[in-house]
Structure formats: C-alpha cells, structure tokens
A and B are shown apart, each in its own frame.
Chain A
Amino acid sequence: MEIWRLPISASQRGKLISAGYTSLSSLSSISSSDLARELNVSESEAMNILKVASHSRGSETSNASCSIVEVLDTFQWWAGAQSAWDMLHDEESLMHITTSSADLDNILGGGIHCKEVTEIGGVPGIGKTQLGIQIAVNVQIPNDFGGLGGNSIYIDTEGSFMVERAFQIAEACIEDMSEYNRFLRKDFQECKIKMQPQDILENIFYFRICSYTEQIALINYLDKFLSEHKDVKVIVVDSVTFHFRQDFDDMALRTRVLSGMALKLMNLAKRFSLAVVLLNQVTTKHTEASFQLALALGDSWSHTCTNRIVLYWNGNERYAYIDKSPSLRSA
C-alpha cells in the first residue's frame, strides 16, 4: 500500500514522501515523536497520520492471518457488506412515503422509497414546491395509518416555502386521516387523532440557505444533526441547483462540488435509512437542431441520483414520468 492512498492532506503527504516514507510498512515501526521530528510537524499531526496508517494496515493484516475455515463465514462479514438475500428482506420491510396522489404513488411503487435519493424536476409552476411540502407533511403520518411517523428536514434555497400553505396542507392531511379513521374503524372510538396542525409544523426542521457554500456546509453538518435527531425520515432540498447555476465560473469546481455533495447525501440516506428528495429546475438542451427540456446541471448530475421523476404539462394536466430508476418501470 502506498502512502498517497491515505486520506491525509496534500502537504502532509508531500512531507512524508520527501522524507522517504512511501509505503505503509515504513511507517509501521516508527513512533510518533520521531515522525514529528523528521517531518517537522506537530506531534498530534504525526499521531493522526500514524493512526490513519495503522487503521488501513490493520484491516489488511487481520484478514491475512485468518484461518481457512473462518474465511468462508467472513465473506459476508467484512466491511459491512450485505448479501442480496438479506437486502431483499430488508427492502420488503421498508416503508414508502406517500405523495398523496394515487397515480404518482402507483408509478413509484407505493411512494418515495427510503434509503434512496429521488430527484423531481419540472418547469416552473408545475408544483414541485407543493409536492415537496406535501412530502414533508406526509412523512409524519403515524404508523397506524400507514405512514412513517417521522420528522422531516426542509432545506430551502429559493425562499419558496410558505408557512401558511404548509399549515393548509397539514390541516388537509389531518382531515384525511380522520376520514380514513372513521371509514375503517367505525367501531373503535378510542383511536382519535391526537395530532394537530401545529404538531406537524413543529416536526419540520427548516433551513434557509443563501449561497452554495452554505449548502455544502449544511450537508456536512447534517451528519451530526441526524445523529442527534434520529426521527428524521426525509430530507427535502428545494432546488438543489439554484445556487449552482448562476455566477459559477469554474465548471470543473462545480462538477467536483456537486458530485461530492451527491455522495454525501447518498451516504446519509443509506446510513440513517431516510429518503432524500431533491427538486430541480429544467433547462433547454440543444439536440439535433431542436430544443428539448432537460433537467438542469447537466449529465454528471443526472448520473448521481437513484431515481428521477420529471413533471410536465400536457394540455391542462400535469403528468409525471419516471426517467431513471433501478427497480421501477418507465411509466
């Protein structure tokens, strides 16, 4: 293993290489104070480097000395891999978040899936923000009614979150639930709706960001936030593309930042078992001398989400179709 595969900063790596340490075995027998002296760095930095190196090396040597019999059992164990059979059973127990539109739920296979990043795009005015608010409210439907009973995080970049509208949606949702209650459980009077619209609004954590650096910082911070608030089940980002479209001169930087952000969101979705919903704008693309609407941010971004739904107008009605999904049909 080579030094430069370690996740340490470039200056530390440069110092290590110029001092002659190019492989991990050369770091194995040195103490942190010697290393600090030779590299001219502080002792805590040297300890950090050694820790990272021994961690990467430890995972290698511990496997090398295993016996043959153990190996077969450890195939599924190492590094948190899961077999497809286990995942199939896990998936069957995952719930979906309903979007309150029966047709949309149908093509989505029940609703928005957890542990996946779903991107929803459409022309302005088609209802993406409304859909986002609806999802943030719907995730709080308690388990008894077929919902997830979780909280939600709403990240707003455009400022289009209207609290009054959210209140209306929350009221409508509660009305729906009580009707459902009355319809199905005519005999049981004790299952009253205890939720009030205020409770629903309390459970939406709202963040407003004004620049792309804030957006990146927030996503980095979400890691800590989610470990404290384990109830969060959905993250809605309204217009993930807004800050990246204008004023961005360095395209390469934009690609790097966006792909890094997408990977972090994927990581959050997987680790905390929540759904991530990203709302996106459309742009026109010139293909074969005709103009076609395509989602903003280009091909590299479209590659990074798990599912993609595009909303469009057809006459006076709104339509949705699934653009990309690993397990659902195009519809």
Chain B
Amino acid sequence: MARLANLETEYPVLDSTVRNFCASHGIFSVEDFLIHDLYMLAAFAEQNNSSERLKEGIAQVLSIIDDMHQPWLNGMELLEDAKRNKHVFPTGIQGIDLLLGGGIRVGQLTELVGPSSSGKTQVCLRTASNVARNHLVLYLDTGNSFSPQRIAYFLGKTINPSSAQAKNQFLQKVMSNISCHSVFDIFAMFDVLHQLESYLRCQDGRGDCQMRLLIVDSISSLISPVLGSSSTQGRALMTSAGYLLKKLAHQHNLAVLIINHTVGGEGGYSKPALGDSWKCIPHSRLFLSCDRGSNNYNVSILRHPSMASGKAARFVI
C-alpha cells in the first residue's frame, strides 16, 4: 500500500489538489484510504470547489485497490484445477503411503513432527529421491543433514544394477534434479523463497521437468531464535512464512514438506514446537516416533484434510 505521493508518477490524476484534500482528512496512503468512510469522503468532495477532480482521484484509488486482490474462482474451476494439477506423490515408504491414501498431496503443506532422531530427515530424503525421478526438488537445509549418500542408497535400492555405468548415469540424472540449499536464518529463507517464486513464475507453463517438491528441514530451527521475545515480530515472521509456503504450494503446484521438532508439554508428553499459532498453518501434520534400538518407526496423523486423525501405522526405512 503505497503513499499517495509516490503514486503520482504513475497516475497523474492524483495530483496535489487531491492529495491536499485527502491530507486534510488524515489520509496519507492507500491503506488510510481503505479505513476511511468513503461516503463521507465523497460528500466532502462534493462540497469542495474542484469536486470533479477529487471524484476522479477517489475513483482512481479505488481501481488501484481493485487490482490488488486475487481473482474469484468458482467451485468447478477449483475442481478442474485439483484434478489436473494437484496430484499425490508417493513417498516411497509403504507404511506412510498407505496411511495417507497415496502420499503427500501437491498444493498442501505437510508437516512432520517428532522427537529427535525419529526419522524425519530420512522420510524427507526418501520422498526427495522418489519425486526426483521425474520432477525437480528443492531441499532447504538448516542443519547440514542433507546426505547425498543416503539418496544414492535409496535410489540404488530401487533399480536393478544392470551395469555400473548405467547405474551411474541414472544416479546422475536423478540426483541432478535435487537441489540443496543451506539457510541459516529466517531472512535468508525468505530471500530464497522469493527467488523461487520469481523462478517459478518464469517456469510455469513449460511442459517439461518442473519443480514439484519443496522440503524445509527444519523450519523450527529457523523460527526458534526469533519467537517469543517481547516483540511480536517473531510470530509475524512465523505466520508469514507459513502463508508464503502455502501460497507457493497452491499457485505453483508444489508439494511442501516441512519438519518441526517437539518440546516437552505438560505431564511429560512431547508436543510439537512453535506453539498454538503454528498449529493451524500446515494442512496435514504427522507425528513420527521411533522404537529405541530397532528400525521400526511409528507415524500417526495429527491433522489431515481427508483422513481421520489418530490413525497410526508402522514403517521401516
């Protein structure tokens, strides 16, 4: 929402008479304009000398505001969009795929929560290696835990090694589809996401290999340093990060997978970190845990748009 003074270069209607009139009512920017009672403003404009210009000015500002909101969609368009674009990607882990009815869904934010060493990074690596066969994957890593060896291992398990060279070529092709970037604070993450947005806008509409999966490991390490201090900026950053990720997921048809950790709650139970404000942001939340000393992992649904919560499954990686 810009100041009216700055808009003059683009829209010459908003010249100084209009601005002085608005200033006399305490309106300095488009935002103030919205807060004001427009009928009263129009009535005042009538009484003024140069009422025509003022009315043009007001109409211009209103049209600027009109341009800003998203277009309306009706139900049929949404359904078509869902059928055409919003596929489901299998994670490659049987237990999770069965539990989720196919896998993680494009256009939604899926969160993996769990105590330390419960397999969250492994699930992400597995999903990345699965999706990378046909699509591009971006992995944002905050803890240097992206392990190319593991990805090579997962990929090696799924193909028959006809020859070492063919296997190498396959590995190279698939692994070049995964791009890993280290971010160490939340502002860097915003930078990367905005660059991603511009890149996706250029890329949308081209048929071949497109980005379909974004993994953030882990969003809680980025947000914890800013959350909870006396200012509310931390929570604002957290919710805006959530909304940005959801917007990217929906508009550019990405599946977004984020990792959160747990903290101790009342009664000794662990609960997901980042608090109640974060709870409603991801579309689906899965809770992972690991049986000590074995390879068995448990996953249960905390929240999902189409599955009942509380269902659980076991899986092995």
Contact surface of A with B, Cβ cutoff 8 Å = 1-2, 4-7, 10, 13, 19-23, 25-26, 29-30, 56, 59-61, 63-64, 66, 68, 71, 74-76, 78-85, 87-88, 91, 115-117, 252-253, 255-257, 259-260, 262-264, 266-267, 269-270, 286-287, 298-300, 302-306, 308, 323-324, 326-327, 330
Contacts and interface: CB of A to CB of B under 8 A. Distances in A.
A20 B151 contact: no
Top 8 A-B pairs, shortest CB-CB distance: A88-B148, A20-B29, A63-B198, A260-B225, A259-B224, A324-B117, A84-B178, A327-B147
B2 A84 contact: no
A117 B144 contact: yes
A256 B226 contact: yes
B125 to A, nearest CB: 8
Given A5-B190, A81-B138, A87-B148, A305 B143 contact: yes
30 contacts: A5-B187, A13-B233, A20-B32, A25-B2, A26-B1, A29-B9, A59-B195, A63-B199, A71-B199, A75-B179, A76-B179, A79-B192, A82-B180, A85-B171, A91-B148, A115-B144, A256-B226, A263-B222, A266-B144, A266-B184, A286-B268, A299-B263, A299-B264, A299-B270, A302-B117, A303-B218, A326-B121, A327-B147, A327-B149, A327-B150
Chain B at the A interface: mostly helix, strand, loop or mixed?
mixed
Interface string B2-37: 110010010000000000000000001101100000
Interface size range of chain B in the complex: 35 or more
Interface of B: 1-3, 6, 9, 28-29, 31-32, 115-117, 121-122, 125, 132, 136, 138-139, 142-152, 171-172, 175-182, 184-185, 187, 190-192, 194-195, 197-199, 201-203, 206, 218, 220-222, 224-229, 231, 233, 236-237, 240, 261-264, 268, 270, 273, 293
A6 to B, nearest CB: 8
B184 A20 contact: no
Nearest to A67: B202
Contact of B199 (A78, A252, A269, A324): A78
Nearest to B244: A5
A91 B148 CA distance: 8
B184 to A, nearest CB: 4
Contacts of B206: 68
Given A71-B199, A81-B138, A20 B221 contact: no
